[in-house]
Structure 1
Amino acid sequence: MTQKSSDQASGVAVTTEQPRLIMSLLAESLPVGILADVGRLAADFGLTIEQTQQLSGEKRQGGVAVPHGVCMEYWLRGDEVELEGLRKKALVLGDAHGIDIAVQEDSVWRGQRQLVCFDMDSTLIQAEVIDELARRHGVYDEVSAITERAMRGELDFKQSFRERMSKLKGLDESVLIEIAETLPLMDGLERLMHHLKRLGYRTAILSGGFTYFANYLQQRLGFDEVHANELVVENGKVTGEVREPIVDADRKALLLREIAEREGLSMEQTIAVGDGANDLKMLAAAGLGIAFRAKPKVREEARHSISILGLDAVLYLIGYRDEDLDG
């Protein structure tokens, strides 16, 4: 692991005992007026801006987007900050300006994280695989109706998953191969994985999707391990069954904890990234939980979110600068 703490990297000597917060602004380009609004937000919560630093993008954007977007960090200090209230206000302010604003507590752990776990569908790939399988099998409407029932709370994840799987009975295995070979990767994923591997992070896929496709991503991008649902295929056909245990929200959180324990890591050294309600328990358990291009409810419940930039923006929330990564 080569990352230094933010204090070490900047050479700043900290002389106060007040806790420090890191507020990250993430955008394709910083809009006019956002810096003044952030200053007012900090003041409203009794926070002092100790320092700002640019992690990505030119100092002055002039409205022009840069390759990996812009990330500016504010280092804030203050006593007894109501953190959840600040995060909610930051979310509203970010939405008003069309940018992301993430707020996290700074600590020694920020420079010591070593495990990153990802959801797969709509996080690592720009698709929901079960929907693609259903379309190819001519049962999309039926599968979608089951999903809607689950969203209304009429079915839990395991019930809805088994019902949706039953609709795929008889699907030819050749369809699985075709879909696996054409999975649309999330933008920023390849850059993110390149640097995570180079920097020595352990990476895992924890997915309510299927091992068939997660294994393909593992081979292509080098994830260290995969935990997902195993489709049962017999005589070249999907049986409509899935092997136990089913990877649901509880199991994702459990797997995150088990991997951390096995690797001798504190939970504060873990990062989790996902987009759905099925990821919330995993995001809450991680030292740094990030909702990525998530639905409004998930963005509101997660501590941090990225919606504007690509998946490689995770590197900025960890604290890396473009010059450290690509320089």
Structure 2
Amino acid sequence: MTSMPTAIPELILINITGPDRPGVTSALTEILGRHKATILDIGQSTIHHYLSLGFLIKTDAAASGEILKELLFKASDLNLNIRFTPTTVDDYEEWVAMQGKSRWIITLLGRRLNAGHIADVTREVSAQGLNIENIKRLTGRVPVNSEPSPLSKTCIEMAVRGNPADRNELQRRFLEISSAQEVDISFQEDNIFRRSRRLICFDMDSTLIETEVIDELAVRAGVGDQVKAITDRAMRGEIDFCESFRERVALLKGLDVSVMQDIAEHLPITEGLERMMTVLKRAGYKTAILSGGFTYFGNYLKQKYGFDYVYANDLEVQDGRLTGRHLGDIVDGRRKAELLRLLAQVENVDIAQTIAVGDGANDLPMLATAGLGIAFHAKPKVKQTAEQSLSTIGLDGVLYFLGFKDSFMEQ
């Protein structure tokens, strides 16, 4: 009995470019489907109404000629350019093996991005042996003739594949570029946790608000310069936070508590806070304020913007005046990290699904504990220590680090 000859498989890479219009992909895949070709890979993108579409197909030698002929005629009818590139099974297997390597997301963010910024980042990517798989824009398009706005923002996201030769060196170079070019660069592993963050915890003073509340209270108490000097040293990590906290609170003794409401109502809110909170709540995130500041002001922000939790410090009051003492344990850096872990347990989320955002040295423990720690307009020591930093725009920049696009946010 004579056995049937085995069909010889052919692997063909098909690249199509040209004007985009509805029905292009349908027309081409209909031909492939009719000839029972197997699609091993597919990719499509458009830029300014111009299409780039690719297929890697497997067929057999008997059918390939007819497939290519029909595709060529259809492409001509649709005013498209088409190119066929034969490939080998070995090349395909090598490509498949590459897909098992780590995938990373690079987010490049700033008020304005130019080609030089992209060149600087991609040069480092190449030097580390990483390959860019795709690039997309997360922010909306900028009108050609528009004047730059002080609050404008531009963000692109790159997906890269491979294992960096020296991740620490890459992070160091990205930090240098960020400082020199006034852009932010985030480098994150693209894993299941990046796509399923559920809890985000914020410092309050100089993060959610553009001031240190204790400094505002001190001005009202007539000890502004003394308290601010202690605050600055504490935020730089030069003195123990708890020690500095007690010293500063003691200087507030005798202050009428009525000033707290006035300060709360006039807090300078950080750019992007309202937009960020609107999107996070819509997306189902739980949000918390973990502050070395004061509960009164945290609760004010909670009520106004919809935070789920507030943990901060309580000031002791007698006869309508501050006593210069606090109640309970001080929320310092160690306590912030503990609270982050506790909230993760309460919300039943893995610690890798958490995010922490802060600016000071006492935020470093929670930034290191969270799955994603972001130093926000931070002091130099904090920025150098944290894996990610955001310094060029407001709090809504956090959303771009999470992969949100403007088109999602504005729905």
TM-score (norm 2): 0.73
Task: Supply the distance in 1 between the matched residues of 2:236 and 2:153 (Cα, whole angstroms).
Answer: 37
Q: Secondary structure at the match of 1:108?
A: coil
Once the two structures are superposed, the pairs formed by residues 1-327 of structure 1 within 5 Å of their partners are 15=96, 16-58=99-141, 65=148, 69-147=153-231, 150=234, 155-327=239-411
Q: Which runs of 5+ in 2 are unaligned?
A: 1-44, 46-53, 56-94
Task: Supply the distance in 2 between the matched residues of 1:92 and 1:152 (Cα, whole angstroms).
Answer: 20
Task: Supply the distance in 2 between the matched residues of 1:41 and 1:63 (Cα, whole angstroms).
Answer: 32
User: Does the CA-based 8 Å contact 2:235-2:379 persist in structure 1?
Assistant: no
Deviations 1:4-57 (A, max 9, x none): xxxxxx9x9995011011111111111341222222111111111111111113
Residue type at the aligned position of 1:273: V
Residue type at the aligned position of 1:310: G
Task: Supply the distance in 1 between the matched residues of 2:272 and 2:373 (Cα, whole angstroms).
Answer: 18
User: Does the CA-based 8 Å contact 2:236-2:360 persist in structure 1?
Assistant: no
Q: How many residues align?
A: 317
Task: Supply the distance in 2 between the matched residues of 1:154 and 1:89 (Cα, whole angstroms).
Answer: 27
Q: In structure 2, what is the equivalent of residue 7 of structure 1? A: none
Q: Secondary structure at the match of 1:146?
A: helix
Task: Supply the distance in 2 between the matched residues of 1:93 and 1:147 (Cα, whole angstroms).
Answer: 30
Task: Supply the distance in 2 between the matched residues of 1:232 and 1:282 (Cα, whole angstroms).
Answer: 27
How far is the alpha carbon of 1:141 from its aligned partner?
2.1
User: Does the CA-based 8 Å contact 2:272-2:395 persist in structure 1?
Assistant: yes
Task: Supply the distance in 1 between the matched residues of 2:234 and 2:303 (Cα, whole angstroms).
Answer: 32
User: Does the CA-based 8 Å contact 1:57-1:68 persist in structure 2?
Assistant: no
| Cα 1:299/1:265, change in 2 over 3 Å | same
Q: Out of 139-148 and 101-110, give the one that drifted further.
A: 139-148
How far is the alpha carbon of 1:124 from its aligned partner?
0.3
| Cα 1:36/1:151, change in 2 over 3 Å | closer
Q: Provide the identity percentage.
A: 52
Task: Supply the distance in 2 between the matched residues of 1:179 and 1:156 (Cα, whole angstroms).
Answer: 27
Task: Supply the distance in 2 between the matched residues of 1:305 and 1:125 (Cα, whole angstroms).
Answer: 17
How far is the alpha carbon of 1:238 from its aligned partner?
0.7
Q: Secondary structure at the match of 2:138?
A: strand
Q: Secondary structure at the match of 2:208?
A: coil
Q: Secondary structure at the match of 1:311?
A: coil
Q: Which runs of 5+ in 1 are unaligned?
A: 1-9
How far is the alpha carbon of 1:104 from its aligned partner?
1.1
| Cα 1:148/1:38, change in 2 over 3 Å | closer
How far is the alpha carbon of 1:138 from its aligned partner?
0.7
Task: Supply the distance in 1 between the matched residues of 2:268 and 2:234 (Cα, whole angstroms).
Answer: 26
Deviations 1:206-229 (A, max 9, x none): 000000100000010110010000
Task: Supply the distance in 2 between the matched residues of 1:177 and 1:140 (Cα, whole angstroms).
Answer: 18
Q: Secondary structure at the match of 2:404?
A: coil
Residue type at the aligned position of 1:288: L
How far is the alpha carbon of 1:259 from its aligned partner?
0.4
Task: Provide runs of 4+ in structure 1 moved above 6 Å.
Answer: 59-63, 151-154
Deviations 1:260-306 (A, max 9, x none): 01111101110110000010110010011101111111111001011
Task: Supply the distance in 1 between the matched residues of 2:304 and 2:369 (Cα, whole angstroms).
Answer: 28
TM-score (norm 1): 0.91
Give 1 or 2 for the bigger CA radius of gyration: 2
Task: Supply the distance in 2 between the matched residues of 1:161 and 1:275 (Cα, whole angstroms).
Answer: 17
| Cα 1:56/1:64, change in 2 over 3 Å | farther
Task: Supply the distance in 1 between the matched residues of 2:334 and 2:364 (Cα, whole angstroms).
Answer: 9
Taking only aligned residues, the RMSD between alpha carbons, in angstroms, comes to 2.2
Residue type at the aligned position of 1:56: T
Residue type at the aligned position of 1:79: N
Deviations 1:224-270 (A, max 9, x none): 01000001111110111111210000000000000001111101110
